[in-house]
């Protein structure tokens, strides 16, 4: 009798503890993904929450019935359990119920998929350079937006390399303009890596020999950190990445400077090579 009381108390305590922990962490964004200033990250977060709370309801229901029956039907000397072997309609019922829940999850997913997977158009205040590309190509700019910015992301042990449309490159830190759709071509030079900036949206594996794609459009400036998510060797944990979102004008000057720096460095190398050749 005492042990049963102890069990009941323990179960109640456990339930209280779980509820307390859930309440605490729900406020602190500890049980949902990071969501930053991009539509696909926010949509992913929304979809996550829909499925998470559905799952939480199912778990609560199962726990409720489980713990209730453990308490209600604990052994009693005077009781004999009825010898029930099944109940076809009940079993059919919960099969259909479970199926309905997963079908609903699939439908919601396909409804929300478009906002997560398919790139938006750039906003009205997007990078002007990206817009002028349309003029060069003699095409009318799409209404209310402009062409996206293409950045090629290459993973290698243990650093990320970014190549911008004008030929500039940078390592580890990517700089992109605000309000502009950034399309990423994800590649790998040696082993598999995975591109992931939690606040900016989905991750995309970088597999050598393949090109993967993802995108984001940041509506606020700031710096967003991430790191390689696919195990890639002894330096996997230190293969970090940073995306700095700046105003379009700032981006233009940065990417021009970056290009000049790259050119200077290349000329430096050429000079040194000539020197070495002339010496030897």
Partner 1 sequence: MATTEYAARRLDRRRLAGAGGPEILVPGLPQRRAGWIDWVTTTDHKKIGILYLFTTAFFFLVGGVEALLMRIQLGTPDNTFLDPTTYNQLFTLHGTTMIFMVVVPIAAAFGNYLVPLMIGARDMAFPRLNMLSWWLLVMGGVVLYASIFFSAPAAGWTAYAPLSGSTFLPGHGIDAWILSLHLVGLSSVLAAINFIVTIHNMRAPGMSLSRMPLFVWTILIYSYMIVLAISSFAATLAMLLIDRNFHGTFFDPSQNGAPLLWQHLFWFMGHPEVYIMALPGFGMVSEIVPVFARKPIFGYRAIVIATAAIAFLGMLVWAHHMFATPLESPVLGFFMLSSLAIAVPTGIKIFNWIATLWRGNIEFRVPLLFCVGFIAQFVVGGATGVMLAVFPVDWQLTDTYFVVAHMHFVLFGGIFFAIVGGFYYWFPKMSGRMMSEGLGKLSFWVMVLGFNLTFLPQHSAGLSGMPRRVFEYHATGSLHGYNLASTIGSFILALGVLITIANAIVSLRRGRIAGPDPWRANTLEWFTSSPPPEHNFDAIPTVRSLEPMKDIRRRVREREERPAQPAPVAEPAAG
Site for partner 1 in 174-213 (CB under 8 A): 190-192, 194, 196, 198, 201-205, 207-213
Alpha-carbon distance of 271 to 165, in angstroms, equals: 26
DSSP labels for 124-169? TT--HHHHHHHHHTT-PPPTT--PPEEEEEEEETTEEEEE-TTS-E
By CB under 8 A, the count of residues binding partner 1 is 91
Q: For partner 1, what does the binding mask look like between residues 215 and 234, x meaning CB under 8 A?
A: ----------xxxxxxxxxx
Nearer to partner 1 (CB atom), residue 75 or residue 276:
75
Smaller CB separation from partner 1, 3 or 277: 3
Task: Single out the residue of 63, 134, 252, 262 in contact with partner 1 (rule: CB under 8 A).
Answer: 63
Compute the least distance from the CB of residue 53 to partner 1, in Å: 11
Q: What is the DSSP letter of 189?
A: S
Q: Is 75 in a helix, a strand, or coil?
A: coil
| Min separation Cβ 95 and partner 1, Å | 6
Binding range to partner 1, per CB under 8 A, among 54-62, 129-137, 172-180, 245-253: 54-62
Structure tokens at 140: 């009318």
Cβ of residue 224: shortest distance to partner 1, in angstroms?
10
Instruction: Work out whether 15 is an interface residue with partner 1 (CB under 8 A).
Output: no
The stretch among 74-82, 136-144, 173-181, 272-280 that binds partner 1 (CB under 8 A) is: 74-82
For the CB of residue 256, give the shortest distance to partner 1 in the complex, in Å.
32
Q: Which window, 80-88, 167-175, 242-250, 270-278, contacts partner 1 (CB under 8 A)?
A: 80-88
Assess whether the previous peptide bond of 158 is cis (omega < 30° from 0).
Answer: yes
Positions 86 through 105 that interact with partner 1 (CB under 8 A): 86-87, 90-91, 94-95, 98-99, 102, 105
Q: If binding is defined by CB under 8 A, does position 144 make contact with partner 1?
A: no
Q: Which of 75, 136, 137, 276 binds partner 1 (CB under 8 A)?
A: 75
Task: Tell me how far CA of residue 221 lies from CA of 179, 200, 215, 255, in angstroms.
Answer: 9, 12, 16, 16
Greatest distance between any 2 Cα atoms in the chain: 104
Of 84 and 276, CB closest to partner 1: 84
**What span, in angstroms and rounded, lies between the C-alpha atoms of 252 and 127?**
8
Of the CA atoms within 13 Å of residue 38, those in its CB half-sphere come to 33
User: In whole angstroms, what is the distance from residue 16 CA to residue 100 CA?
Assistant: 30
201 phi/psi in degrees, rounded to 5? 125, -155
């Amino acid at each position: 009798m005492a042990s049963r009381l102890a069990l009941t108390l323990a179960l109640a305590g456990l339930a209280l503890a779980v509820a307390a922990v859930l309440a605490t962490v729900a406020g602190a964004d500890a049980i949902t993904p990071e969501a930053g200033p991009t539509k696909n990250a926010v949509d992913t977060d929304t979809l996550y929450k829909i499925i998470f709370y559905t799952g939480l309801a199912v778990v609560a229901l199962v726990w409720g019935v489980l713990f209730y029956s453990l308490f209600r039907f604990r052994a009693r000397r005077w009781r004999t359990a009825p010898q029930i072997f099944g109940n076809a309609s009940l079993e059919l019922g919960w099969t259909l119920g479970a199926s309905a829940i997963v079908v609903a999850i699939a439908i919601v997913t396909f409804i929300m998929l478009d906002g997560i997977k398919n790139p938006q158009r750039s906003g009205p205040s997007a990078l002007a350079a990206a817009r002028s590309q349309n003029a060069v190509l003699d095409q009318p700019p799409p209404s209310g937006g402009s062409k996206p910015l293409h950045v090629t992301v290459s993973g290698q042990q243990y650093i990320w390399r970014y190549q911008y449309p004008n030929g500039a490159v940078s390592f580890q830190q990517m700089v992109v303009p605000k309000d502009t759709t950034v399309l990423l071509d994800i590649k790998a030079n040696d082993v598999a890596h995975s591109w992931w900036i939690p606040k900016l949206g989905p991750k995309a594996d970088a597999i050598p020999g393949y090109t993967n794609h993802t995108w984001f459009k940041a509506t606020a400036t700031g710096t967003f950190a991430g790191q390689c998510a696919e195990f890639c060797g002894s330096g996997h944990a230190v293969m970090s990445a940073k995306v700095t979102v700046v105003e379009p004008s700032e981006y233009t000057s940065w990417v021009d400077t970056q290009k000049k720096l790259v050119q200077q460095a290349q000329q430096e190398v050429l000079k040194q090579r000539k020197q070495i050749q002339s010496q030897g």
